Structure 1
Amino acid sequence: MVRASFWFSWILSLQVALFWLWGTPPATAFTPEQQLVLQAWRTVNQAYYDESFNHQNWWLTRDRTLKQQIPNEEAAYQAITKMMATLDEPFTRLLRPEQYRSLKVNTAGELSGVGLQIGVKADSKSIEVIAPIAGSPAAQAGILPHDVIVEIDAVPTSELTLDTAAVKMRGAKGTNVSLLIQTADRSPREIILIRQKIELNPVTAELHTENGRKIGYLRLAQFSAKAAQELSDNITKFKQQGATAYVLDLRNNPGGLVQAGVEIARQWLDDGTIVYTVDRKGAIDEIDANGTALTDAPLAVLVNEGTASASEILAGALQDNGRATLIGTKTFGKGLIQSLFDLPNGSGLAVTVAKYETPNHHDIHKLGITPDRIVPTPEISLEAAGTKQDSQYVAAIAALGIGS
């Protein structure tokens, strides 16, 4: 009995000693709010692509955070947000329950609001447009890729996170939101948009006849869960209708599900590497084609400064394998991959888990992909895309050997 009491006292003393050394209580003493913070810390600790955690002691960051007063869930969110900010990498972030639900809905192919895909500008940390969604209020108002959003409803975006900015632009159909937009060197201008329910139909498909030849024109707006199957169905239909070449339009496609990009690459490539992913250990994972290409007909791909993320994976795979000619302007340059992780209370984390490289080991992040043929982006309406008014489309037809 004396020995059992001795061991119990020794273990308790060890716990107290560890608490004194590390400054945080043993796991059994954590409040639910602290446990939420700790789960967020553990997720980043295990998954984040930069093992140096922005050249900081990530354990020390944990202990400093847990020493704070965290009396409620809101305080926990603020603590997690502050902890993530030390990584100085905007794509790794906390998603509160409403933001997490919204992000999952978006990748499923539905969206409500003004129709803007946004990111954080690398040099200034300001919120910039990756691309407007085709047919959305933002696209109809002429908002362009790389435009900076200075204010949302008179609130400076310097005071907002990426996700709170996105939430502020969403809302009930028919309601207004005011954006102060900065385009390049022009003076900021106010744009008032009316929110709409935006249907993300990922694929627009048209069978064109150019100089007696049938051309399958496929515009891909986003890599949603539905995109690969819809594109496959349309390629199969165009083959049956006698298409002899294809134009794949990835302009202003901000990306989405990386797996959808891989599946679509396999629809065009029978063999070869699609993409390399590089994790925190420098380990390279190779994702390859698998012999399931739907057609070997000639292919031209349209890209521009709004072509980002999964779109760049697809464009890089087709270019480096010599499967397609890329036409347009240099792409956006987002080469980091995020995964989503659930937290216990319905919130979640988006965590950058790897970066990707093209089959020829080109690093895309902040660099983009340079097309085979540079053709400036024309100032045309969405309805004119893929017509003779569209200079990039005309250049793609010429690259396919079907010029007028």
Structure 2
Amino acid sequence: MRIIAADRFELKREVEYGTPEQNQAVREIVEAVRTEGDAALLRYTERHDGVRLQAASLRVTEAEITAAYDKVDAAFLTAIREAAVNIRVFHEKQKRYSWMDLQPDGTLLGQMLRPLKRVGVYVPGGKAAYPSSVLMNVIPAQVAGVPEIVMVTPPATGGKEGIDPYILVAAAEAGVKEMYRVGGAQAVAALAYGTASIPPVDKICGPGNIYVALAKRTVFGAVDIDSIAGPSEIVVLADETADVGYVAADLLSQAEHDEMASAILITPSASFADGVKAEVERQLALLPREPIARKSIDDYGAIIIVGSLQEGVGVINRLAPEHLEIMTADPMEWLGQIENAGAIFLGAYSSEPVGDYFAGPNHIIPTNGTARFSSPVNVDDFLKKSSLIRYSKEALLANGDKIITLARHEGLEAHARAIEIRLERERGGN
């Protein structure tokens, strides 16, 4: 893990999404599913997942869900249920409501909120299955009032046994009634455009590999998407009062996600930096996913030496990290100065996995510096807003000439005349 001065550090981020070959492959898959429907969906599932399905077998059955409960351990079931409660309670506090403002002249202005009708949740397989991500996508949508939530996941998330039973149980516990065994770009296309077996949705959420990310970008506009997620990131701001073992463990908690994840420590203490570097090496050797974590640490990990914690805060605001941990003598001292971070963890006991799994805030957080302008997944992501305008005669008579002036300034005569005809009639003109 490299140690570097703040003025020489630049975070290596992937600014382009996918190779030309990957982009072309995704475009072909999306177009094929859009035009051919189930036939293309099944063809690409066999080609990329090695599973031959029939259209009638795409949907997960109640019997499979029941059987999944027999395959998960009781401790997991207890934990996932308690986590779901915490997540729901947190997101209930985000709810907003329609409002109307009746003004003295009789004009009524307002905003009407309505949930999206149908949302698709993508749950990845591959290097790891993430039941927790099911909760983080589904529960905010439920709190928003979305009536139809559908889940797709690759048909072999659990290997040769089929779909990982922990994913099925998590979805069932979250209240998902409609699940399909399909993944990759073909699943995203099916959700966006619909097939005979899978009705289309209004929005697609959830992480996935590069092909899923590119497919989401391709279908955006036909449907909404949550984001184009990049590799996971963690930044830890720590002084010499922090525990070396805690800091190293938290850095590795993100490094083990994938080879492109970034784990960065910012500290004013050179001796503390040396201690963390040594501890990272010690803990790395003990990890089951050591090859993945080591490549992440070697390629994207860093310890940044700053002149002061104040300088460190400036570095953080430039990086706009997905996860930020503040492990200093007084973490609250610095909170008000953090401008850009997806999720902020304060103190020695607020390890990043607390947020990933159990505390309640959403763990689907902006990556790649996008915390500068975006937020974690929340209830608002599943609501649409309509403006309400009921203008009174008195208001139109008072303001109509100004509206006409603005319309004619923009060269839109029909706009002006739509107001003018009303003014003439109400003022007793022709």
TM-score by length of 2: 0.25
Higher helix proportion, which one?
2
Higher strand proportion, which one?
1
Query: Based on CA coordinates, which of the two structures has the bigger radius of gyration?
Result: 2
Q: Which structure would you say has the larger RCO, counting Cα contacts within 8 Å and 6 or more residues apart? A: 2
